[in-house]
Chains A and B, each alone.
Chain A
Amino acid sequence: MIALNNINISYGNLKVLENFSISLEKGKVHCIFGASGCGKTTLLNALTGMNKLESGERLSLDNKKFSYVFQEDRLLPWATALENVLFVLRDRYCDEEAKQIAEKYLNIVGLGKFINAYPSELSGGMQRRVSFARALSYRGEVFILDEPFKGLDFKLKTELINYSLESDIKENSYIVFVTHDMQEALSFADYIYMVDGPPLKIMEKIETHKNK
């Protein structure tokens, strides 16, 4: 189990997280469901360690590897789809192995024919697939999806959800998924945390039928 325990984070006078705690189970999809600006991204930053805590603890998170699908794709514009995926693999694998892994995941997300295309040559949906391939190939122990399906059509959304769940990522990872869309939450999550804020509060924790 990984957890945040009694953490506090403020931006100036605004308390975004105040004595906030959450624990996450391995192999489960935890959905954070709430309105824009309530502090969801700050919570994700607290998990990854990108935001410094004023107080509180990050439990069993310090040496974890994170796979992250951002709201924006955050692809290197000067690098091809393959190079974008390789970027996160090069320090962990030898060149040949990294290339094989990158190609495998680009094939999984349906971009096998576009590995040498630059982001500007790909559609928005294809860029999103590259971002997923990057996250899936990295095989982080914590898999974070920050509104990953924003603006995507239903078909692509379902495909990407299936890629994430069909790979053995689910069994071996802690998955945190942020969304505004209840349908997405219900079709993807084991637990839905209804949140409000700032400061961020868990109003209700719902166990979905998927987990029963």
Chain B
Amino acid sequence: MMDSTIKTKSYIKTILIIGFWIMVWQIGYIIVGRDLYLPAPFQVFSRLTELGAEKAFWMSIMYSVYRVGLGVILSIILGIAVGIISGMNDLVYEILNPAMVAIKSTPVMSFIILALIWFSSTNSPIFICFLMCFPLVWTNTVAGIRNVDKKLLEMAHIYDVSKKQIIKKIYLPSLKPYFVSSSVQALGLGWKVTVAAEVLSNPRHSIGGNLYAAKAYLDIPGLFAWTITVIGLSYVFEVFFVSLMKKKMGSERL
């Protein structure tokens, strides 16, 4: 009873916040007064409804989800594996760190242009997504490994516990909060960079390709509708991932 009241209050609050921002948007539309610069919320939502009725819309979403999913999953798996090795071995860390700093500070456009030369238009966004998310996961994993409680490690060494057990029972559980945080960040970043890469590489079915087309045909409500779609997908991914982690790991120990 108590829980359902709290949930209802929370839903009402969320709806009110969304309503507030739609109202700000509507006021902005009235002040700007030109559809080409800022379309009305109603125009955008009706365009979104139109798009939702087209098969191509769902195909584009499906392919973009595939690219983001593959890029993020690869970056998480490799970022954690390489991050654990780097966190435990200073030499590996020192070798990899300059590359990670370079990737993080290089404009994503440079990599997208290079990727267009190296890969097909379908695979470029996956590569870009992986390349941008990997340093993020790697950095968080290294931080997690370095923040492992030294006293627990000392206890394990005194009791002569094997390296395998130490990794399984001390390092991996210590990494959980870093894993969740870096994965959520990677999911958000993954959507941004994948769609950006799709805009330039323009694969057959893609959200980025549709954004590019909307810009080319000055379909500004369409541009907003696709952008809202990306925001919505990114949010749904994040919520799904966090609830999955809570279920798997137990929220109280996350």
Chain A interface residues toward B at CB < 8 A: 48, 50, 65-68, 70, 72, 74, 76-79, 83, 87-88, 90-91, 118, 134, 138
Contact = CB atoms under 8 A, between A and B. Distances in A.
Interface residues of B, number: 17
A50 B154 contact: yes
Contact of B169 (A66, A87, A138): A87
9 contacts: A48-B158, A66-B160, A74-B155, A77-B253, A79-B173, A87-B159, A88-B159, A91-B162, A118-B253
B7 interface: no
Given A76-B170, A78-B253, A79-B169, A87 B151 contact: no
B151 A70 contact: yes
A183 to B, nearest CB: 28
Closest 9 A-B residue pairs measured CB to CB?
A88-B159, A74-B155, A78-B173, A91-B162, A68-B158, A66-B158, A78-B253, A48-B158, A74-B151
Chain A CB count within 10 A is highest, among B151, B154, B157, B158, for: B158
Interface of B: 151-152, 154-162, 165, 169-170, 173, 176, 253
Nearest to A131: B155
A138 B170 CA distance: 18
Nearest to A74: B155
Contact of B161 (A74, A77, A83, A88): A88
Contact residues of A: prevailing secondary structure: loop
B165 A138 contact: no
Contacts of B253: 77-78, 118
Given A72-B151, A90-B161, 13 more contacts: A48-B158, A66-B159, A66-B160, A68-B155, A70-B151, A74-B152, A74-B154, A77-B253, A79-B169, A83-B169, A87-B159, A87-B165, A91-B161
A110 B159 CA distance: 23
A72 B154 CA distance: 12
Given A78-B253, A90-B165, A138 B159 contact: yes
B118 to A, nearest CB: 42
A50 B159 CA distance: 11
A76 B169 contact: yes
Nearest to A79: B169
Contacts of A66: 158-160
Given A70-B151, A91-B162, A76 B173 contact: yes
Given A50-B154, A91-B165, A68 B159 contact: yes
A70 B155 contact: yes
A72 B152 CA distance: 10
Contacts of A72: 151
Chain A CB count within 10 A is highest, among B159, B169, B176, for: B159
Contacts of A78: 173, 176, 253
Contacts of B156: 87
Nearest to A138: B159
Contacts of B173: 76, 78-79
A67 B151 CA distance: 15
A145 to B, nearest CB: 13
